[in-house]
Copies of this chain bind each other. A is one copy, B any other.
Amino acid sequence: MNETIQEGKDVLLYLDGRRTYLVRVRAGQNFHTHKGFLRLDDLIGKQFGEKVQTNLGVTFTMLKPSMRDYVLKMLRKTQIIYPKDMALIILYANIGSGSQVVEAGTGSGALASILAYHVKPDGRIYSYEIREEFLEIAKKNLERAGVAEYVELKNKDITQEIDEENVDAVVLDLAAPWLVVPHAYKALKGGGNFASFSPTIDQVVKTVEALEEHGFVDIEAIECMVRRLQVKRGQTRPETRMIGHTGYLVFARKTRTP
């Protein structure tokens, strides 16, 4: 069903591929851009996909924010995992509606948000973060993205212990994932999925070694490179600049006889 834009809802204002703004609609307020301002009252009652003009006559398209929009627009204190890497984690670790997932570190909550979106309505994310100040940010980001109810934020050190048992997946984005491997082994159900994101080769080597030692099989380490195409009839070409490296992904599955 088509959705009407309402007070209190978020809108992604799209100008072009490089300029988008994530805005919460508040009656009586204006939103200022470098192309003039929009009266948010004008948005209320419109449908997603419609267009709106600033006082300077510049047109924005009103889009419903995707999870990727939320993630890319999040308040953050640290680098977040890129959507391309989150996508592979979800599919390779078999995370779907109903999955029980342990995740760490929470950071700004970007990865937890995406995971939550994919396990709802019956799954749950248990997200560990040792730095309390990050949990505040994460809480706001999860609420904004509309997935807070599926995430349990935990101010605990996951390298010490995991409380949950028989979970479907453990997903890690932290400096020393190999320290979590024994706890992940305990927390996972038989055949459960381990996934870890790390920027450096040495992190990958240590994590893979820990997985081999702790009864995991089907261990694989990959990297994913995404390149954009500039599409124009007669002049199509890949873009000059690209992100050459974000990090490596390590996946594995738990056996019951380490």
Contacts and interface: CB of A to CB of B under 8 A. Distances in A.
Contacts of A48: 189-191, 256
Give the dominant DSSP class at A's interface: mixed
Interface in A180-214: 189-193, 199-202, 204-205, 208-209
Interface string A230-258: 01111111111111111110000111110
A226 interface: yes
Contacts of A98: 121
Chain copies in the assembly? 4
A66 to B, nearest CB: 4
Given A2-B190, A242-B244, A255-B50, A97 B94 contact: no
B245 A227 contact: yes
A62 interface: yes
Of A121, A231, A234, most buried by chain B (CB within 10 Å of CB) is A231
Nearest to A211: B231
Given A222-B228, A222-B229, A225-B227, A190 B50 contact: yes
A91 B113 CA distance: 12
A243 B245 contact: no
Of A50, A96, A256, most buried by chain B (CB within 10 Å of CB) is A96
A131 to B, nearest CB: 21
B94 A217 contact: no
A97 B84 contact: no
9 closest Cβ contacts across the A-B interface? Answer: A49-B190, A242-B244, A48-B191, A66-B94, A238-B245, A87-B91, A49-B256, A87-B87, A221-B229
25 contacts: A2-B189, A3-B189, A17-B220, A47-B256, A49-B254, A49-B256, A50-B190, A50-B255, A50-B256, A64-B190, A66-B92, A83-B92, A84-B88, A87-B88, A96-B120, A97-B118, A97-B120, A200-B237, A201-B237, A202-B236, A220-B228, A222-B228, A223-B238, A240-B245, A240-B246
